[in-house]
């Protein structure tokens, strides 16, 4: 047994001096590959001229992007998604910021319960909220309408805005607001000239999050889409179940570009981790 234990000990020592950090780095690299792989293959597939997704790709083409530009279903879905995401971001950011101001600045009783309510749409599974809204909006014949999808998206994005903006409000120096007040500024002036400018970047990050969550949302929207309310993610979901050509890979590719650009912009503005 002596040689075995000596061998084990020397392996352990080698591992500790050289191997550990190497293995660790290798593992981290593999996890990064694993995390990015599904996004990478979608992008690669979008430039593949073959009618079926094949690996390795059989060439390089922009053909599928040209195809998108000619497909009115996709263009309609994209336009709908974009409109809904922009309106959602604006409404969620304004109402979420107002609510966050109360959550952090007032000493009203029940603020904790309010915060829980504002964050609660994140706790309910998408299919559950989806069927609840399906039953609800069906009573008013609103399935497939823009306003039904819009209200769902605002509810779903409010938590992101509230979280980001509340964090921003908690991190700013309260004494500046107090100084402005004691120098005679009215509460409204303090809000407009001191508080809001100093949480600008959190509001911006909140708006970007709201835009992205709305732009990418598929589950609740799937229940509300009907025939007229097919957004881009819903279109992809329905398309990939019955077709195997890379047309939607090109659509997905554009969506990934939008997402990545937004994420990088936000990371430059606010610290996430």
Tokens 């997402």 sit on residue: 259
Interaction between residue 158 and other proteins (CB under 8 A): yes
Please, which of residues 57-86 interact with other proteins by CB under 8 A?
none
Interaction between residue 28 and other proteins (CB under 8 A): yes
CB of 249 to other proteins, least distance (A): 8
Interaction between residue 236 and other proteins (CB under 8 A): yes
CB of 55 to other proteins, least distance (A): 4
Among 84, 85, 155, 199, binds other proteins (CB under 8 A): 155
Interaction between residue 98 and other proteins (CB under 8 A): yes
CB of 82 to other proteins, least distance (A): 14
Query: Which x/- pattern over 99-138 shows residues binding other proteins (rule: CB under 8 A)?
Result: x-xx---x-x-----x--xx-xx-xxxxxxxxxxxxxx--
Among 24, 60, 62, 140, binds other proteins (CB under 8 A): 24
- Helix crossing, 232-242 with 247-269: angle to 10°? 140
Residue 50 sits at φ, ψ, to 5 deg, of -65, 150
Q: How far is CA 126 from the centre of its chain?
A: 14
Q: DSSP H helical segments within 139-228, as ranges? A: 146-171, 174-182, 187-190, 196-198, 200-216, 219-224
**Pairwise CA distance, residues 142 & 218, whole Å:** 18
Interaction between residue 12 and other proteins (CB under 8 A): yes
Please, which of residues 241-260 interact with other proteins by CB under 8 A?
241, 248-249, 252, 255-256, 259-260
Residues 6+ apart with CB under 8 A from 272: 266
């Amino acid at each position: 047994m002596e040689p075995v234990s000596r061998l084990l000990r020397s392996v352990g020592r080698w591992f500790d001096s050289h191997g550990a950090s190497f293995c660790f780095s290798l593992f981290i690299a593999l996890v990064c590959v694993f995390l990015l792989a599904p996004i990478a293959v979608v992008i690669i597939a979008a430039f593949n001229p073959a009618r079926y997704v094949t690996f390795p790709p059989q060439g390089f083409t922009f053909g599928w992007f040209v195809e998108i530009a000619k497909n009115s279903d996709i263009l309609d879905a994209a336009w709908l998604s974009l409109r809904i995401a922009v309106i959602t971001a604006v409404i969620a950011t304004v109402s979420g910021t107002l609510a966050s101001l109360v959550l952090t600045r007032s000493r009203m009783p029940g603020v904790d319960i309010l915060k829980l309510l504002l964050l609660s749409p994140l706790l309910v599974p998408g299919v559950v909220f989806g069927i609840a809204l399906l039953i609800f909006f069906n009573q008013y014949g609103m399935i497939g309408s823009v306003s039904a999808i819009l209200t769902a998206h605002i509810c779903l994005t409010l938590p992101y805005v509230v979280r980001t903006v509340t964090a921003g409000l908690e991190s700013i120096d309260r004494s500046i607001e107090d100084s402005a007040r004691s120098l005679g500024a009215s509460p409204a002036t303090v809000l407009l000239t001191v508080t809001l400018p100093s949480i600008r970047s959190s509001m911006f990050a909140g708006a970007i999050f709201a835009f992205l969550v709305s732009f990418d949302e598929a589950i609740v929207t799937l229940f509300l889409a009907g025939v007229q309310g097919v957004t881009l993610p819903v279109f992809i979901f329905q398309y990939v179940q019955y077709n195997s050509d890379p047309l939607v890979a090109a659509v997905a590719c554009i969506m990934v570009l939008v997402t990545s650009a937004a994420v990088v912009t936000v990371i430059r503005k606010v610290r996430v981790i």
